[in-house]
Amino acid sequence: MGNSTHLTHFILSAYFDSRLVKYIFVMILMTLYVLMLVSNVLLIVVICVNRSLHEPMYLFLCSLFVNELYGSTGIFPSLLIHILTDIHTVSVSLCFLQIYCIHSYGIVELLTLAVMSYDRYFAICHPLQYNTHMTRKRIATLLAVPWFYGFLACTVMISLTLSLHLCANIISKVYCDNHSVVKMACSDITAVNIYGLIIAFINISVPLVLILYTYMRILKVCFSGSKQTRHKAVSTCTPHLASLINFTLGASFEIVQTRFNMNHVPSTLRIFLSLYFITCQPLFNPLMYGLNISHIRICCKNCV
């Protein structure tokens, strides 16, 4: 693992001694994790089993739910173990695995939301060309690109971070993240910082510009279109827009906690800010899409 192999573990200092209260925390977190697993797996199965849902919008939703299972499962099991055992250290290999998981989860989530906005744009603004434009090959490409790019970008990022010489091992969070590790480096971090800035710009600006453009076009069609067109736009875009706002809020909490000194903030609030990023989407999206999209709601009732 390059120059960081002399370290055997990292200390996650955002935890606090909760004594008997820790069992309450574990029960709450376990309940949240089970809800995330059940709701996301249920919707994935419903979409896969029902051929009527084998349409682009639902396939992109399925990819979104798979990513949320991936992101939450990469963090929650170790989180529960840390609280139960009161041992707040993590091995170097597991720490970098968490970094890879949490960063790739965030990239794939935002890119998938951008792909979904592109899909809704074509369905609402160009309904006659939709079926000929959204071919199987294009759908497969749109499904694969967020995952391929997310994993590739994180692989390069991890490789650069692993080459650093680290002079500390204390991370002021409840799980590992790349910026916290880079801050502990006592070697040249120019390459890591330049790559981080470039990737951050691409990861944030490109999806948000695409989403903004598609929603501007959708709004234009809604104002000039029929009542049926407006209803279709509202019914399909409302869950997507709510999901985007929710994810942006969670990502903002994560960025603030990572980039700024939060030692003056109570430990409970710091843990909440960390957990919100990995729980906001896995809990929110199944509920939002399951309740607001009638086709999914009907299929869920039939399966149950």
The tokens of 246 are what? 């929710």
| SS3 assignment, position 196 | helix
State how far the Cα of 118 lies from the Cα of 112, in Å rounded to an integer.
Answer: 10
* Rounded Cα gap, residues 69 and 100, in angstroms: 15
Quick one: how far is CA 218 from the chain centroid?
25
Query: How far apart, in Å, do the first and last CA atoms of the chain sit?
Result: 48
Task: Tell me 166's DSSP state.
Answer: B
Tens-of-pLDDT digits for all 304 residues of the chain?
444 446 788 988 777 666 777 788 888 889 999 999 998 998 898 888 888 788 888 899 999 999 999 999 988 998 888 888 878 889 999 999 999 999 999 999 999 999 999 998 888 888 888 888 888 999 999 999 999 999 999 999 999 999 988 888 888 888 888 988 998 988 889 999 899 899 989 998 999 999 999 988 888 887 776 777 677 777 778 888 889 998 988 888 888 777 776 667 666 777 777 788 888 889 888 888 876 666 666 666 665 5
Distance CA 277, CA 106 (A): 9
User: From start to end of the chain, where are the E strands?
Assistant: 9-12, 89-91, 170-171
Residue 291 Cα distances to 15, 234, 275, 278, 294, angstroms = 36, 14, 24, 21, 7
Is the Cβ–Cβ distance between 71 and 105 less than 8 Å?
yes
Closest CA to 268 of 15, 12, 11, 13: 15
Residue 170 β-bridge partners? 11
CATH number at residue 164: 1.20.1070.10
Among the listed residues 212, 213, 209, 218, the one whose alpha carbon sits nearest the alpha carbon of residue 237: 218
The predicted structure's pLDDT at residue 297: 63
Asked if residues 195 and 157 have their Cβ atoms less than 8 Å apart, the reply is: yes
Judged by DSSP in three states, 168 sits in: coil
Tokens of 65: 């739910």
| The two three-digit tokens of residue 47, written as one number | 């979409």
Sign of the torsion formed by the C-alpha atoms of 82, 85, 86 and 89: negative
Range of the domain at 42: 2-303
pTM (two decimals): 0.90
Domain count of the fold of the chain = 1
- The two three-digit tokens of residue 130, written as one number: 């939709």
